[in-house]
């Protein structure tokens, strides 16, 4: 009998284990069914336009289960898009307080909360949350933090953030933003060392080289102006129209104009029509007018340009005295048309302007506004 009892004990244990497991499964299933039912009920409230009741129902459910955090993030994003920022904030704040969320989920929720605060104009709250994320090495917080400091014009705070966490600034966009922060601090403090610091970032930006060249040019330090602007035009050929005339005057002041046209030759492969016109001017100065006309005509066939056409008319007018008056009248009409066209365009959102902006007024991107290209451009 005792032996039989010992034989039955493993069977009983196995039976108990199976029953217990099934019981736990049934309990978990029942719990999930209940949560799903309650979740569906909350969504139904929302669909029936009973927003207040639906939101409260879902928030109460959140306190029961945080497993569906992605659903709540989606819901909060929906509220934010609808402009119901108080509701989005409430959901994100409750999510952050959930003890069973992992650290990455908390970071995502905190980032979304910061975005809510920015849209609501609660900038101090947004900054405090973004600072926490940056200190934790969460690089996704960099873009909204940069946008926040750009909006509040807290240039020094942006510089301090970079100097404390420079390893996070790995892409060109963030480096361009910080470079401009340095430039703004340099202008406010009248201290050029910040311009120099801006040239030492992981990615070279446009504005520091432009500002350093401009400062040297204003001080009639032609050698330094050439150094900075030559580097600028070599690294960013699309920016050449900004400085090319002043750069030419620096070379002329030093009686090394031939070196200027040497630079123009280097820029030609990636240049717009402005550099091509400079190349033609060099040919004209050396007496090769026919070659200049041929070069520009061939270039316009491949890449039509109103500005290039205007200069071609000037070349033809100077060469053909008989029809000079007619060509000059046509050129006058062309230049009048050109004057109505924007000089600059954002290469990210398409914003156009007659004025240069380092920060695009439309998409809030640093250094995306450049001299316009294409048929009407430079």
Give the C-alpha separation, 154 to 151, whole Å: 8
Q: Domain segments of the chain: what residues?
A: 69-152
The pLDDT value given to residue 241:
95
Condensed to tens digits (0 to 9), the pLDDT of residues 262-302 reads: 999 999 998 899 999 999 999 999 999 999 999 999 999 99
The reported pLDDT for the residue numbered 356 is 95
Backbone angles phi, psi at 78, to 5 degrees: -60, -45
The predicted pLDDT at position 102 comes to: 85
What are the backbone angles phi and psi of residue 116, rounded to the nearest 5°?
-60, -45
Phi, psi of 261 (to 5 degrees): -70, -25
Q: What is the distance in angstroms between the CA of the first residue and the CA of the last residue of the chain?
A: 103
- List, for residues 124-151, the tens digit of each pLDDT value: 999 999 999 999 999 899 999 999 999 9
pTM value? 0.78
pLDDT of residue 110: 93
For the stretch 205-256, pLDDT in tens is 999 999 999 999 999 999 999 999 999 999 999 999 999 999 999 999 999 9
Q: Average pLDDT over the chain, rounded to whole?
A: 85
Cβ atoms within 10 Å, residue 246: 15
- Band (pLDDT 50/70/90 cuts) for residue 25 is low
Q: Which of 41-45, 67-71, 134-138, 275-279 has the lowest mean pLDDT?
A: 41-45
Q: Tell me the per-residue pLDDT of 91-103, one tens digit each, with 9 for 90 and over.
A: 899 888 888 888 9
> Cα(93)–Cα(151) distance, rounded to whole angstroms?
24
pLDDT at 40 over 90: no
Could you tell me whether strands 344-346 and 369-371 are parallel, antiparallel, or unpaired per DSSP bridges?
antiparallel
CATH topology (fold) of 69-152: 1.25.40
Whether residue 293 contacts residue 312, with contact meaning beta carbons closer than 8 Å, is answered with yes
Neighbouring C-beta atoms of residue 224, cutoff 10 Å: 15
């Amino acid at each position: 009998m005792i032996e039989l009892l010992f034989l039955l004990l493993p069977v009983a244990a196995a039976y108990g284990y199976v029953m217990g497991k099934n019981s736990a499964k049934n309990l978990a299933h029942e719990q999930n069914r209940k949560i799903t039912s309650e979740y569906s009920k909350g969504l139904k409230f929302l669909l029936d336009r009973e927003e207040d009741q639906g939101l409260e129902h879902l928030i109460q459910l959140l306190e029961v289960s945080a497993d569906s955090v992605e659903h709540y993030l989606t819901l909060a994003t929906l509220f934010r898009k609808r402009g119901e920022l108080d509701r989005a904030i409430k959901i994100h704040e409750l999510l952050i307080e959930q003890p069973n969320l992992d650290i990455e989920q908390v970071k995502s929720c905190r980032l979304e909360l910061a975005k809510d605060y920015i849209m609501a104009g609660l900038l101090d709250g947004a900054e405090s949350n973004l600072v926490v994320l940056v200190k934790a090495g969460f690089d996704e917080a960099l873009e909204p933090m940069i946008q926040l400091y750009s909006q509040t014009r807290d240039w020094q705070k942006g510089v301090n953030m970079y100097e404390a966490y420079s390893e996070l600034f790995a892409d060109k966009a963030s480096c361009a933003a910080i470079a401009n922060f340095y430039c703004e601090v340099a202008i406010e403090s009248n201290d050029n060392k910040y311009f120099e610091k801006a040239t030492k970032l992981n990615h070279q930006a446009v504005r520091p080289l432009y500002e350093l060249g401009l400062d040297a040019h204003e001080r009639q330090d032609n050698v330094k102006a050439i150094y900075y602007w030559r580097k600028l035009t070599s690294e960013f050929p699309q920016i050449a129209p900004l400085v090319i005339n002043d750069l030419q005057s620096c070379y002329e002041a030093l009686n090394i104009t031939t070196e200027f046209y040497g630079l123009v030759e280097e820029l030609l492969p990636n240049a717009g029509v402005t550099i091509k016109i400079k190349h033609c001017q060099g040919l004209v100065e050396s007496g090769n007018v026919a070659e200049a006309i041929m070069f520009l005509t061939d270039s316009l066939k491949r890449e039509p340009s109103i500005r290039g056409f205007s200069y071609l008319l000037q070349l033809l007018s100077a060469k053909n005295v008989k029809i000079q008056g007619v060509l000059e009248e046509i050129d006058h009409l062309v230049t009048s048309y050109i004057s109505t066209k924007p000089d600059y365009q954002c290469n990210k959102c398409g914003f156009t302007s007659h004025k240069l902006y380092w920060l695009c007024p439309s998409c809030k991107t640093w250094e995306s506004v450049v001299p316009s290209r294409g048929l009407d451009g430079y």
